[in-house]
Chains A and B, each alone.
Chain A
């Protein structure tokens, strides 16, 4: 393993210290670990917080700032942060208008954020959790932990962050976040594995001439392993997996502020159709050159034009990664006036910045 590391156990701490030094508009807390807007004390709005295992840079710390997240909780590499960490982070950021946790659907993240929400609600801090489960590589939710949360997370953080900035209530922010989730779909693929520093070797084995279609952001396997093929063919597989995905229905848990407990609700994502207007993310998984991402965009754009899918906004680059993996994911989020308005609103974070 060849990495820019001093001590393996200091990687996350030193990353946070570097971010604080580079971005005076952010503050960090090291015990427990969180990154928070330096101006959080003067805010009067719903607090939007996300978090998850580290290694999906620039998520989530890179998206803390005006118009996006108020704070982020980084876990160990690929390991969920802990409830006490989220609890302290939310208490530090909270200003009386409630807390919304945006949670990627991984077993560990869901459990830890649920515990944190229970602790905060018990403390009188109104808290709600919204899941992101947009990875179409996972077909059913009955025999698996359900679809994973991937690229839609970035787009949701931007949109809901802007809505909170505009004065949306906790309930309205949660409703908007849920809508974005039901409108979002992603699919990824890996050319190589990735190396978790503590493990020191690749997370999974993949031959020089093989690729994994439907990979998750930790290298979880997806639909199939196939021989390596052209950019156009790979892009076509990913794009069609998203556009051809049918209705997706699952049970999710929502905090019921009336009863003070979780309730299960059924939740459905309608399929995409001709004429839909999309925000598109063509995302590198950590070690993919931008030239290759544009190659993917070229073919995806062609397929969308053929199918009368209108790309109204796009970002191309590495926005949610799997450490040093080579590969790509495509995310599409269907838009409407409300979503588009908040996507275009000003944002000022280390990793996403426009209109300011």
Chain B
């Protein structure tokens, strides 16, 4: 597959909503170990709103508008730190693909990078701080590398999910430097970051969306 179509995006958002609902308790458990025990509830609340908008999204062919709507939906319903961060990711992603009705790999890579840069700017986090950036930044790098390899979306998404899973697990030994977990200092070691985990789940549903 060389282009990502409207139906794939809708499927992605649908699967992401379902997987975040299924993993609500898991995410909350991770967050309760080193955070404030609300990540699962907040992500579920936000993505339930997304799920309610799937019909509206499927009637709009402008992918840029859909991503922006997605971003605003998350910003206005998640709250906490995850709302502005995930919201910013989808908003910025949408700004890079205004009026497009399908995406080439180049389009996707450019938009993804813009999204990740938005998250970095908003959250002021770097790789190694034990946050979602630990998953998102290496994926953005891997995506850029894939451009020269002339790969299909199937291969690229399979690669980035592997990378995301590895990155997610690599947050376990880190000391948190951002967010509420940072107050634990060395006590945050040995726990997987909840935000890195939700980022992995969202990327995993992207891969699954094009398999169906």
Are A and B physically bound partners? yes
Residues of A within 8 A of B (CB): 32, 53, 75-76, 78-85, 106-108, 111-112, 114-115, 138, 143-145, 148, 196, 198-199, 203-204, 216, 218-222
Q: Within the assembled complex, what's the spacing in Å between the Cα atoms of A220 and B122?
A: 23
List 9 tightest A-B contacts by C-beta distance, closest first.
Answer: A111-B84, A144-B182, A108-B80, A108-B81, A84-B76, A107-B81, A79-B79, A107-B179, A79-B80
Given contacts A76-B79, A203-B37, A83 and B84 within 8 Å (CB-CB):
yes
- In the complex, per-residue mask of B179-191: 1 if CB is within 8 Å of any chain A CB, else 0: 1101111010000
Q: Within the assembled complex, what's the spacing in Å between the Cα atoms of A84 and B184?
A: 31
Q: Within the assembled complex, what's the spacing in Å between the Cα atoms of A32 and B75?
A: 13
B177 near A144 (CB under 8 angstroms)? Answer: yes
A107 near B83 (CB under 8 angstroms)? Answer: no
Q: In this assembly, does B36 line the interface, its C-beta being within 8 Å of a C-beta of chain A? A: yes
A78 near B38 (CB under 8 angstroms)? Answer: yes
A80 near B36 (CB under 8 angstroms)? Answer: no
Q: Within the assembled complex, what's the spacing in Å between the Cα atoms of A115 and B91?
A: 13
A82 near B75 (CB under 8 angstroms)? Answer: yes
A286 CB → nearest B CB, Å: 16
> Which of A53, A145, A199, A221 touches B178 (beta carbons < 8 Å)?
A145
A145 near B180 (CB under 8 angstroms)? Answer: yes
B179 near A145 (CB under 8 angstroms)? Answer: yes
Please give me the residue from chain A that is nearest to B46 by CB atom: A82
B78 near A111 (CB under 8 angstroms)? Answer: no
B88 CB → nearest A CB, Å: 8
Given contacts A107-B180, A199-B37, A112 and B185 within 8 Å (CB-CB):
no
> Which of B36, B77, B84 touches A78 (beta carbons < 8 Å)?
B36
Q: Within the assembled complex, what's the spacing in Å between the Cα atoms of A221 and B85?
A: 24
B92 CB → nearest A CB, Å: 13
> Which of B28, B42, B76, B123 touches A79 (beta carbons < 8 Å)?
B42
Q: In this assembly, does B32 line the interface, its C-beta being within 8 Å of a C-beta of chain A? A: yes
A203 near B185 (CB under 8 angstroms)? Answer: no
> Which of A112, A216, A219 touches B84 (beta carbons < 8 Å)?
A112
Residues of A within 8 A of B153 (CB): none
> Which of B37, B183, B187 touches A216 (beta carbons < 8 Å)?
B183
Q: In this assembly, does B26 line the interface, its C-beta being within 8 Å of a C-beta of chain A? A: no
Given contacts A111-B122, A144-B185, A198-B38, A80 and B179 within 8 Å (CB-CB):
no
Please give me the residue from chain A that is nearest to B45 by CB atom: A76
| B42, B72, B77 pick with most chain A CB within 10 angstroms | B42
B38 near A112 (CB under 8 angstroms)? Answer: no
> Which of A79, A143, A145, A220 touches B38 (beta carbons < 8 Å)?
A79
B36 near A218 (CB under 8 angstroms)? Answer: yes
Residues of B within 8 A of A81 (CB): 79
A115 near B75 (CB under 8 angstroms)? Answer: yes
Q: Within the assembled complex, what's the spacing in Å between the Cα atoms of A203 and B31?
A: 11
Please give me the residue from chain B that is nearest to A145 by CB atom: B182
Residues of A within 8 A of B182 (CB): 143-145
A53 CB → nearest B CB, Å: 8
Could you show 7 A-B contacts with beta carbons less than 8 Å apart? A82-B77, A85-B76, A107-B178, A107-B180, A108-B84, A138-B183, A144-B182
B123 near A107 (CB under 8 angstroms)? Answer: yes
Given contacts A112-B79, A203-B32, A203-B36, A220 and B180 within 8 Å (CB-CB):
yes
Q: Within the assembled complex, what's the spacing in Å between the Cα atoms of A84 and B77?
A: 9
A221 near B187 (CB under 8 angstroms)? Answer: yes
- In the complex, per-residue mask of B9-44: 1 if CB is within 8 Å of any chain A CB, else 0: 000000000000000000010001000111001100
Given contacts A145-B183, A196-B38, A203-B36, A111 and B79 within 8 Å (CB-CB):
no
Contact residues of B between 181 and 207, Cβ < 8 Å to A: 182-185, 187
Residues of B within 8 A of A115 (CB): 75, 84, 122
A64 CB → nearest B CB, Å: 20
Given contacts A203-B36, A203-B37, A222 and B183 within 8 Å (CB-CB):
yes
Residues of B within 8 A of A83 (CB): 75-76, 84
Residues of B within 8 A of A32 (CB): 76
Q: Within the assembled complex, what's the spacing in Å between the Cα atoms of A222 and B184?
A: 7
Please give me the residue from chain A that is nearest to B35 by CB atom: A220
B28 near A199 (CB under 8 angstroms)? Answer: yes
Q: Within the assembled complex, what's the spacing in Å between the Cα atoms of A32 and B118?
A: 25
Q: Within the assembled complex, what's the spacing in Å between the Cα atoms of A56 and B184?
A: 22
Q: Within the assembled complex, what's the spacing in Å between the Cα atoms of A207 and B78?
A: 33
- In the complex, per-residue mask of B72-106: 1 if CB is within 8 Å of any chain A CB, else 0: 10011111111111000000000000000000000
* Additional A-B contacts beyond A76-B38, A115-B84, A219-B36 (16; CB < 8 A): A32-B76, A75-B79, A80-B81, A82-B75, A82-B77, A82-B78, A85-B76, A107-B123, A108-B83, A108-B84, A112-B79, A114-B122, A143-B185, A144-B177, A145-B180, A218-B36
Residues of B within 8 A of A114 (CB): 84, 122
Residues of A within 8 A of B84 (CB): 83, 108, 111-112, 114-115
A82 near B76 (CB under 8 angstroms)? Answer: yes
Q: Within the assembled complex, what's the spacing in Å between the Cα atoms of A114 and B85?
A: 12
Please give me the residue from chain A that is nearest to B179 by CB atom: A107
A113 CB → nearest B CB, Å: 10
Q: Within the assembled complex, what's the spacing in Å between the Cα atoms of A199 and B36?
A: 10
- In the complex, per-residue mask of B37-80: 1 if CB is within 8 Å of any chain A CB, else 0: 11001100100000000000000000000000000100111111
